[in-house]
Amino acid sequence: MKKQTRREFLKSLGLMAGSAAGLSILPSCNTIGQIAGRRPNIIFIMTDDHASHALSCYGSKINKTPNLDRIAKEGMLLANSFCTNSICAPCRAVILTGKYSHINGVTDNRLKFDGSQQTFPKLLQKAGYQTAMIGKWHLKTDPTGFDYWNILPGQGLYYNPAMIEMGERKNYTGYVTDIITDHALKWIKSRTPDKPFCLMYHHKAPHRRWEPGPEHLTMYDDVTIPEPDNLFDDYSNRGRAAKEQDMSIAKTMTQGDLKFTAPQNLTPEQKKRWDAAYEPKNEAFRKANLQGKDLVRWKYQRYIKDYLRCIASVDDNVGRLLDYLDESGLAKNTVVVYTADQGFYLGDHGWFDKRFMYEESLRMPLLVRYPREIKAGSVNDDIVLNLDFGPTFLDFAGVPVPADMQGESLRKLLQGKTPKGWRTSTYYHYYEYPAVHSVKRHYGVRTRRYKLIHFYHDIDEWELYDLEKDPREMKNVLGDPAYADTVNELKAELKRLREKYKDTTGADV
């Protein structure tokens, strides 16, 4: 077929009626792209429990993530991205539906996701996208809305995992982050090239028990990772919730977490490498007979090094994917998103895990690259939520965002043009209690400067943090008379947000 000029192409679409007059109604490049079927591909990369303060593009003091940083360098870094309920399955359900937990039904990790409800992959599929879900799913029911899915059962294993491919269970030998990436690349290469695609490429790493891959077992052996300044937090100036949790490095970590026992299902070769990496260090530990703070310091080093080793494998594998996008020419027309299902404590407050509305687990990394619309190296600091991801993907695909989705499209923000009246506060609600880690139920509001939290179940306690003066949240200033007006304003805002999002669960404000 003869190659059309742009003018001929537009004419064929009936977009150049007349001549000079027609020029004034020329559609934007984007509209042309959509009409011509050049809607962008979407690759949604998500890891599990990767805190933003363990990415060098977010200023990590403890590791380097050169491949993930590439997405920021070639796209946008969102500096204030938050989740609405900081725990695994609920965050995934929020992202899929664009709705808060009390509406999508997955308020805690023990509940099953109702896959018959509306999700953004279903809407993309309906609009002609090829959709795939590869890796960690963790929603207890089979994925819906995907042309292809291949998921880990439940939490999945780091070594030699089983995966469920379209309902069929298969076993693999190797390391989970490599295996998920192999499947993702295989799917991209075998897809139908004439349709846009949306791939959910979701890793298990760096979830607990933080088991590093064979290539990274001894990474960081010769360095000491800096400790957070509040590793020995005594929770004074705060309420019972912080004092009564069960997620501390000092008390909660198990023998498995600390690698005094190896994973159960290693091959003889894997076991040999594992023991060669851990046994000499474990032997030195036994001889040292550490106590008190020295013991906590040792546990922190063991934990954080394993966590960062798992991230190093994610970084390598995302690099493989980005390289393929470059080589194949897909990079230009593909929206690449990197995030984690929520944040995590990296020894901050003496903790690991998530759940609390405090900063480290409320924050999520969010990097987005799309060369056609996003300026390389840009940064946005507006308040954005995981609730917004679905609407954003739909917007990029030219699919109308259903009115019952509670998030907002980030497309304008990504283009560097934040709409007037963009949100200046966010609502949070955590439910999983009583349960593992003993974090009490709470809801709260965060503005750019303040955070008000209500632990309403089991106890009835409020906390207020002035994030400008106390970014580490070490002092609850709720009782300070200087903040009396602020408390009233925040309570009114909290009430407004609960009404806006139709949340009648938990205690009244």
Give CA–CA dist 416/411, Å, rounded: 9
Instruction: Kindly state the smallest distance separating residue 350's Cβ from Ca ion, in Å.
Output: 20
Nearer to Ca ion, 82 or 197 (CB): 82
Q: Torsions phi, psi of 4, nearest 5?
A: -85, 145
Using CB under 5 A, pick the residue from 40, 41, 49, 99 that binds Ca ion: 49
Instruction: Kindly state the smallest distance separating residue 341's Cβ from Ca ion, in Å.
Output: 4
| Binding residues for Ca ion, total number by CB under 5 A | 4
Nearer to Ca ion, 48 or 316 (CB): 48
Nearer to Ca ion, 136 or 498 (CB): 136
Contact call for residues 224 and 271 (beta carbons, < 8 A): no
Q: By three-state DSSP, how is residue 152 classified?
A: strand
Using CB under 5 A, pick the residue from 41, 48, 82, 465 that binds Ca ion: 48
360 interacts with Ca ion by CB under 5 A: no
Give CA–CA dist 411/124, Å, rounded: 16
Using CB under 5 A, pick the residue from 74, 147, 341, 359 that binds Ca ion: 341
Residues between 192 and 221 with contacts to Ca ion, criterion CB under 5 A: none
Nearer to Ca ion, 49 or 315 (CB): 49
88 interacts with Ca ion by CB under 5 A: yes
If we measure between CA atoms, which residue out of 56, 88, 46 comes closest to residue 336?
46
Instruction: Kindly state the smallest distance separating residue 349's Cβ from Ca ion, in Å.
Output: 18
CA atoms within 13 A on the CB side of 198: 23
Nearer to Ca ion, 95 or 188 (CB): 95
**Helix H or strand E encompassing 490:** helix 484-500
432 interacts with Ca ion by CB under 5 A: no
Please enumerate in sequence order all residues whose Cβ is within 8 A of that of 232, keeping only pairs 6 or more positions apart, or say none: 293, 296, 350
Give CA–CA dist 126/311, Å, rounded: 35
Cα–Cα separations (whole angstroms), residue 132 to 122, 163, 184, 204:
11, 14, 9, 17
- Beta strands (DSSP E) in 344-438 are 366-369, 378-380, 384-385, 425-430
Q: Torsions phi, psi of 99, nearest 5?
A: -135, 150
Instruction: Kindly state the smallest distance separating residue 16's Cβ from Ca ion, in Å.
Output: 51
Nearer to Ca ion, 48 or 257 (CB): 48
Instruction: Kindly state the smallest distance separating residue 120's Cβ from Ca ion, in Å.
Output: 19
Given the rule CB under 5 A, which of 67-75, 85-93, 96-104, 479-487 is the region that contacts Ca ion? 85-93
Residues between 91 and 130 with contacts to Ca ion, criterion CB under 5 A: none
Tokens of 41: 């591909």
Tell the residue number behind the tokens 């509209």, with chain if given: 31
Instruction: Kindly state the smallest distance separating residue 180's Cβ from Ca ion, in Å.
Output: 15
Instruction: Kindly state the smallest distance separating residue 204's Cβ from Ca ion, in Å.
Output: 10
Which residues are near Ca ion by CB under 5 A?
48-49, 88, 341
